[in-house]
Structure 1
Amino acid sequence: MEWLGLNILAELPPTGQILLNCRHNPFLVLLAYLVACAGSFAMLNMAERVSHVEKPSAQRQWRLLGAFCLAGGIWAMHFISMLAFETPLKTYYDLPITGASLLIMLVAALFTMNTLGQTELRAMQYLQASTCIGLGIAGMHYTGMSAMHSNAVQYYQTSLVLFSIVVAIVVSFAALLLARHFRNGGGMFHQLLKYIASLVMGAGIVSMHFTGMWALTLVVPIGSTLELPMTDNSLHLSLTIALITLLIIASSISAALADKKLQSKEHDLLRVNALLSQLDQARVSLQQVAHYDALTNLINRRGFNQIFAEKLAEQTHSKGMLAVMFLDIDHFKRINDSLGHDAGDELLQVIAGQIKNATRSHDDVVARFGGDEFCILISLNNRDEARQLAQRIMQKMKEPIALVGRRMVMTTSIGISVFPDDGTTCDELLKNADLALYQSKGNGRNSLNFFSSNLKTRATLELQLEEELRTALAEENGLELYYQPIFDLRNGEVAKLEALVRWQHPQHGLLSPDRFIGIAEANGLIAELDTWVLRRACQDLARLSHNGCEQLKITVNCSALNLCREELPGEIDHALRSAGVAPHRLELEVTENALMGNIDVTVALLKKIRALGVSLSIDDFGTGYSSLAYLKRLPLDTLKIDRSFIQDVPNSPQDMEIVQAIIVMAHTLRLQVVTEGVETVQQYALLEQQGCDFVQGYLLSRPVPLRDLRPILDQLNQRKSVSTVDFIQLYPGRDTDGSMLQDLFVDNPGYRASASVAQPVR
């Protein structure tokens, strides 16, 4: 079969001369390969640009430019390779057919770039596209071969022609895959891979051409005149074509790189603009977060302070008045503990609305400082306006609030300071309003108080005491233990000593615990104070043991805040070991309310302490909220009746019955009973008759320091029995108020009160 002068499916003629001495110029072959590589590299760059630009017009532009680069590179490679083919015949090329071959290659290249421009390609689409492109490259090749004219006739081996077409399809398939792969990415390694891919693609394109040349056989018919070439201008023509092609490709690649940089700068500019926009939004959001409370949408502390400073400057200039109100929701913690924090947040939102509705919206500033604490700033003409607003808020707060299926009423405590009477700076006014709030809480809550100078004096004194107490604990200077005997009614001896801390203050003299225990609890010093008392009590007990008091026990009070610490059993054990005191000689006293705080945790902790061998006592029994159900769960040894039940005995029959009931109940639970606050012989006699185990009070002794303790112990332990009932019967009318009997009991070391007859001391 002859096509355009090419005998592709025809057999070689039986007669004719086959030219065997044809060869290729290696320099031009190398030049053709370089041109093919350049065209491949340009195509990869154009495909990358097509995928990166967003405008359809720009995409069409880069597809068209890529098609020209690819078509020009492959066609120039083909033409230079043809010029590299050297034959002993005069050869020339038909210009129209050569142009047609270029047009065929351009169509194939356009199809290639359009294929690469699609978003996704399936495997079958890759195969179809590579087949079309490969056929286009083969068509360009063989059309270009038909443009070569000489005295020889071109014959092609069919199998090799088909093989060249397969090579063209495979090369096209590989080119599509590589171009799709390299259209995204960046960096030096990506660029290096692109160079390697261009070399591979160029080799594939050149291999297709020379596979087609391998199939070629030139046959000179017999009788034809051989015209030898006069001059050989193949080198000059090849260099010209290569130079023009490479210039076009280089310009296209430069344009692609420039566009890439420009697009990168545009993207950077867009990112900068986006970042600036985000920064503006973030600034607005930060301003909202910085000055407003996210839960209630009220102004927060930072925003309040800013507005406060501005209004304070205005009122200072105009000599007006301002009021600062601190509000605290009473017992708000119970809501969080019982209903959960979500319910607490919902309640805070409702309360914030109530406070806002009670104020003058046009002038008053309402802020949430955190938790359940709110602050209001108002301009006023007199102090009564502040009082009226506070009362209006308190009345508004009493409106029922529906929350998680319940209707509840909350109350608030309010503290007020007024500018300029109570301060001239923001910090001073806020601090004074807080002091007034503290006063409202101390007065039973649900009340309002204005700041007064005595509040500041008291706060200053408490701050001073806190600092000095901290120093006293650190230096162990000024603190001292006093001991009050606990008398055993069964054997008539002192069985225990209660350790009571005192503070010998350099300015204020001897301070009792009620003056500084609250300060220690409020400022995180109570654990350190309790540990000091425990350690010192064990050391003093060791000293007493060396002086003949081997059977004495010491009771040490434990704060409610200290009772929840897991370190407490270890600290008790360490104090006992350091002093060399047996654990059974130590008794830990805890208050009734402290035990009821968290009963499960408390029971577990008390069991650990009990396991050490330490006795446990419940102090101030009857003043708290305990019940028998809880009492029987606690690992206790002793129950101490509070002094409030004994102080009116025997004049109060009701108190006498209560004391009797407590003693019976305690003995039923196998607990020993201590009654504190015993100050008269009548109280002593009643407790003895009711079976009380121990008594403690001023009738026996006041609390004394360790240095004064031994004479009192000796005096109390030397008394013998004298019946209070028998004494009254023997001397009727002589002890109507009990004073004579008390004198006998306290002042005469030869007698003691008991249920038996009076006996002299031996």
Structure 2
Amino acid sequence: MDWLGLHFVTELVGSEQVVIDCRHNPLLVLLAYVVACTAGFAVLDMTERVSHAENPASQRIWRWVGACCLAGGIWAMHFISMLAFQAPIEIHYEMPITLISLLIALIASLLAMNTLSHAHLRFWQYLQASVWMGLGISIMHYVGMAAMRSNATAYYQPTLFGLSIVIAIGASLAALLLSRYLRNGSGISHQLLKFTASMLLGAGIVSMHFTGMWSLTLVLPTGDLAPLPADNNPMQLGLTVAVITLLIIGSSISAALADKKLQHKEHDLRRVNTLLSQLDQARVSLQQVAHYDALTNLLNRRGFNQIFAEKLIEKSTHGGKLAVLFLDIDHFKRINDSLGHDAGDELLKVLACHIKSTTRSHDDVVARFGGDEFCILISLHEHDEARHMAQRIMQKMKEPIELSGRRMVMTTSIGISVFPDDGKTCEELLKNADLALYQSKGSGRNGLHFFSPNLKTKATLELQLEEELRNALRDETGLMLYYQPILDMKSGRVTKLEALVRWQHPVHGLLVPDRFIGIAEANGLIAELDNWVLRKACEDLSELSRHGCDELKIAVNCSALNLAREELTDEIESALRTAGVAPQRLELEVTENVLMDDIANTLVLLRQIRALGVSLSIDDFGTGYSSLAYLQRLPLNTLKIDRSFIQDIPKSTQDMEIVQAIIGMAHTLHLQVVTEGVETEQQYEFLNHYGCDFVQGHLLSRPVPFRELRPVLNEINQRKHHSPTALNLLSVARGTDELTSRDLFPDSPDHYASASVAQPVR
């Protein structure tokens, strides 16, 4: 049976034909297997290069290179295997048909590489491609066999012939699947796996060839057997073909490896460039974060200081003036407390736009230092330019702002320092502008102040006093208590004393609370100072008890900040226990505004203090904003009328009516009334007439130190029928006048007098 020029027989019959006994050279067979394995490795490697190539042109090039390597390797394997074929007859090959077999191998290889170029294919697609590849390889093999010319006739056994085609298809399918699996990966294990796969592919290709050769039978008519020529040397030709093929495939693999390394270097270079770009972006972002405020997009303190330093160098070199405007939004905390921080942030954005809109955008520098603090740096020729700038900002601030459904108007306080008059460095100018701002806030806010040298002197003195007060509390030196008697108007005797702290300063002399209480509160010393006053008052009360004053009570003032401390109750109990004083003999005075600030927490603490047995007094009544509804809930014993309602009696009818109403209200609430600041006979008679319980003031005695207290008490108590005139003469005769803070520091702000442990009696 003949098919496509091939002869198929199942059995040879006849005595006139001789079946040629054929063998294979084992060395050439091994060499063919090596070539097949190399071709398989090249296919796997080229497939990897195609999948990793980013340029379509590079993919096409490596697809062709892989196809040529596979086609050349299969064809060379076939050619070497045919050289390994040894028969006792002369055999030669026709070149055109041999080249056609090579072309067929190339077409099959291109089909394989084209299939492998697709990253994701289904199994049936790989199976379809493997069928065409296997048929192409088989056709290449049998076309190459058809190029063989000899006296013998070639017959093929159909079964083995078909098996060779199946092996070719199976080897093709294995090659496609392995290439898909091994196209990605790296490392030694990946390379070992690729070598193993190459050996399997080589075995499949060689198996297909020798199965086809197994199906071949050469038949020669009897008498045509002739000896082989002597110059037939297939080993040399096989080695030559193998070496050339291996060199070509090896060069292709080396080129692929070099391209892979080059591509990795390009990837590394791109990655480095990407990282550098990211670093540049991060640097810009960090610079933005480091030098700009995230909320308002204005410069922050760091960015402002950098530009400030540059402008200072410029002005120092070429001359000129700079002004630093330090702004603080008045009562901004109330916005956060009432509307929330989100509303506060929105308000800050609006205010930042207001400030920015009033400046000269090309010259002036605007920054937010944090919170509600802003700073502006401007170049100027005259001081008035800074004043006009500040006035424009203050006017812009007064424009109504819609926020959270409310219409509000904000104000600002401004402090100004000027280079070079007020300083030569950034730190000095900012500090001086801050001092001027402090002066503006102390003067009622919504104003502006320029820095003046006396502000720096005062700030230096404040800092020095803070350090010296800290040392005085630590060493318990210099601080002392003065006592002012409080007269029981019913019994005509002194039954209470108010403890008033004083500081015997080594340089400035005797300082009253107005001068150092504000310093203590601003620097976290007030709790320690209050505790010292409490302990010292209890010790002095214990000493008075040993001299027969068993019924005296002592009133001790409590600062606003200290009243918010949970430890206060324990400190009071400890002071009483240490001094051995009954709690009923201690009275704690708190100011009216302190009670109303946080009524819920204050009420809990006051009840704890009352549970100890300590009396409670509301001081400076009438100067705050007390609610009668809250007042009746507080566990109070005494109400002290502020001196401001007494000083104009009897001239002020309105004050007389107010005092009369307060006394009546207090008695209705079952509270005793103490009136401080009593200095005249008319005031005494008025209070006595309307049922005031206790009086305190210079009419009885000025505050005196503890060592002078007992003679004063004895002299006041010895008078059975008190004459106010006599009491006043007693006070004058004792000559206990003392300097006030205004005498020592005429420029001190009034707000120091509003927060004190013990309000001095004027």
> What is the TM-score normalised by the length of structure 1?
0.79
CA contact (8 A) 1:22 1:88 kept: yes
AA matched with 2:200: A
Within 5 Å, give how 1:508-657 maps onto structure 2.
Answer: 508-534=508-534, 536=536, 555-565=555-565, 588-603=588-603, 616-632=616-632, 634=634, 636=636, 638-649=638-649, 652-657=652-657
Aligned pair in 2 of structure 1 residues 520, 212: CA closer, same or farther (>3 Å)? same
Give the match for residue 244 of structure 2. Answer: 244
AA matched with 1:197: K
User: Tell me, what secondary structure is at the counterpart of 2:519?
Assistant: helix
CA contact (8 A) 2:47 2:179 kept: no
AA matched with 2:157: Y
164, 178, 183: which is aligned to 1:175? 178
Taking the aligned partners of 1:277 and 1:519, their CA distance within structure 2 comes to: 53
User: Tell me, what secondary structure is at the counterpart of 1:121?
Assistant: coil
Query: Which has the higher mean CA deviation after the structures are superposed, 398-407 or 252-261?
Result: 398-407
Taking the aligned partners of 1:12 and 1:638, their CA distance within structure 2 comes to: 137
Alpha-carbon RMSD across the aligned residues, in angstroms, is 4.6
1:193 aligns with 2:185: no
Taking the aligned partners of 2:568 and 2:237, their CA distance within structure 1 comes to: 102
For each residue in 1:302-342, what CA deviation from the matched residue of structure 2 results, as whole angstroms up to 9, or x when unmatched? Answer: 55445545554555566544443333332233333333444
Taking the aligned partners of 2:84 and 2:579, their CA distance within structure 1 comes to: 110
1:178 to partner: Cα distance:
1.5
User: Identity across aligned pairs (percent)?
Assistant: 67
AA matched with 1:199: T
1:157 aligns with 2:159: yes
Gaps of 5+ in 2: 735-762
Aligned pair in 2 of structure 1 residues 204, 51: CA closer, same or farther (>3 Å)? closer
1:605 to partner: Cα distance:
5.2
CA contact (8 A) 2:36 2:206 kept: no
User: Tell me, what secondary structure is at the counterpart of 1:435?
Assistant: helix
1:325 aligns with 2:325: yes
CA contact (8 A) 2:20 2:219 kept: no
Give the match for residue 446 of structure 1. Answer: 446
CA contact (8 A) 1:126 1:176 kept: no
Taking the aligned partners of 2:567 and 2:238, their CA distance within structure 1 comes to: 95
Q: Which has the higher contact order (CA 8 A, sep 6+)?
A: 2
Give the match for residue 501 of structure 2. Answer: 501
For each residue in 1:638-693, what CA deviation from the matched residue of structure 2 results, as whole angstroms up to 9, or x when unmatched? Answer: 54433333444565454344344444544555655544444567656665665656
Taking the aligned partners of 2:93 and 2:12, their CA distance within structure 1 comes to: 24
CA contact (8 A) 1:175 1:201 kept: no
1:48 aligns with 2:48: yes
Give the match for residue 105 of structure 1. Answer: 105
Taking the aligned partners of 1:137 and 1:643, their CA distance within structure 2 comes to: 119
CA contact (8 A) 1:487 1:493 kept: yes
Taking the aligned partners of 1:18 and 1:637, their CA distance within structure 2 comes to: 142
CA contact (8 A) 2:679 2:728 kept: no
1:68 to partner: Cα distance:
2.2
1:746 to partner: Cα distance:
12
User: Tell me, what secondary structure is at the counterpart of 2:157?
Assistant: strand
User: Tell me, what secondary structure is at the counterpart of 1:623?
Assistant: coil
Aligned pair in 2 of structure 1 residues 234, 426: CA closer, same or farther (>3 Å)? same
Give the match for residue 739 of structure 1. Answer: 725
Give the match for residue 759 of structure 1. Answer: none
AA matched with 1:192: S
AA matched with 2:70: L
Give the match for residue 751 of structure 1. Answer: none
Give the match for residue 394 of structure 2. Answer: 394
Aligned pair in 2 of structure 1 residues 78, 395: CA closer, same or farther (>3 Å)? same
CA contact (8 A) 1:33 1:203 kept: no
Within 5 Å, give how 1:402-421 maps onto structure 2.
Answer: 402-421=402-421
Taking the aligned partners of 1:90 and 1:47, their CA distance within structure 2 comes to: 41
1:443 to partner: Cα distance:
1.2
User: Tell me, what secondary structure is at the counterpart of 1:72?
Assistant: helix
CA contact (8 A) 2:649 2:655 kept: yes
1:206 aligns with 2:208: no
Give the match for residue 756 of structure 1. Answer: none
AA matched with 1:195: L
CA contact (8 A) 2:41 2:195 kept: yes
CA contact (8 A) 1:296 1:349 kept: yes
User: Tell me, what secondary structure is at the counterpart of 1:111?
Assistant: helix
1:462 to partner: Cα distance:
1.1
Give the match for residue 457 of structure 1. Answer: 457
Taking the aligned partners of 1:18 and 1:581, their CA distance within structure 2 comes to: 142
Aligned pair in 2 of structure 1 residues 76, 154: CA closer, same or farther (>3 Å)? same
1:457 to partner: Cα distance:
1.6
AA matched with 1:627: S
CA contact (8 A) 2:589 2:617 kept: yes
1:428 to partner: Cα distance:
3.4
AA matched with 2:725: S
AA matched with 1:480: M
1:337 aligns with 2:337: yes
CA contact (8 A) 2:700 2:727 kept: no
Give the match for residue 756 of structure 2. Answer: none
Give the match for residue 114 of structure 2. Answer: 114
For each residue in 1:246-278, what CA deviation from the matched residue of structure 2 results, as whole angstroms up to 9, or x when unmatched? Answer: 322322222223223333333444444445555
Aligned pair in 2 of structure 1 residues 177, 392: CA closer, same or farther (>3 Å)? closer
Taking the aligned partners of 1:46 and 1:414, their CA distance within structure 2 comes to: 76
1:635 to partner: Cα distance:
5.3
For each residue in 1:679-717, what CA deviation from the matched residue of structure 2 results, as whole angstroms up to 9, or x when unmatched? Answer: 56765666566565655545555545555556666777x
Taking the aligned partners of 1:330 and 1:344, their CA distance within structure 2 comes to: 13
Aligned pair in 2 of structure 1 residues 536, 116: CA closer, same or farther (>3 Å)? farther
1:454 to partner: Cα distance:
1.7
Taking the aligned partners of 1:93 and 1:543, their CA distance within structure 2 comes to: 137
CA contact (8 A) 1:15 1:221 kept: no
Taking the aligned partners of 1:356 and 1:58, their CA distance within structure 2 comes to: 58
User: Tell me, what secondary structure is at the counterpart of 1:625?
Assistant: coil
AA matched with 2:390: A
CA contact (8 A) 1:416 1:437 kept: yes
Aligned pair in 2 of structure 1 residues 210, 283: CA closer, same or farther (>3 Å)? closer
User: Tell me, what secondary structure is at the counterpart of 1:619?
Assistant: strand
CA contact (8 A) 2:178 2:197 kept: no
CA contact (8 A) 2:43 2:66 kept: yes
Give the match for residue 429 of structure 2. Answer: 429
For each residue in 1:711-739, what CA deviation from the matched residue of structure 2 results, as whole angstroms up to 9, or x when unmatched? Answer: 666777x669x577xxxxxxxxxx6xx31
Aligned pair in 2 of structure 1 residues 416, 236: CA closer, same or farther (>3 Å)? same
Count of residue pairs brought into register by the alignment: 727
1:264 aligns with 2:264: yes
For each residue in 1:522-573, what CA deviation from the matched residue of structure 2 results, as whole angstroms up to 9, or x when unmatched? Answer: 2333344344445555666666677777776655444333444556556666
Give the match for residue 254 of structure 2. Answer: 254
Taking the aligned partners of 1:690 and 1:649, their CA distance within structure 2 comes to: 13
For each residue in 1:172-223, what CA deviation from the matched residue of structure 2 results, as whole angstroms up to 9, or x when unmatched? Answer: 342243244x1xx55xx3x431331331243144135426645734445586
User: Tell me, what secondary structure is at the counterpart of 1:417?
Assistant: strand
1:515 to partner: Cα distance:
0.6
For each residue in 1:106-149, what CA deviation from the matched residue of structure 2 results, as whole angstroms up to 9, or x when unmatched? Answer: 32332333333335434554444444445444554555566667
Taking the aligned partners of 2:494 and 2:48, their CA distance within structure 1 comes to: 101
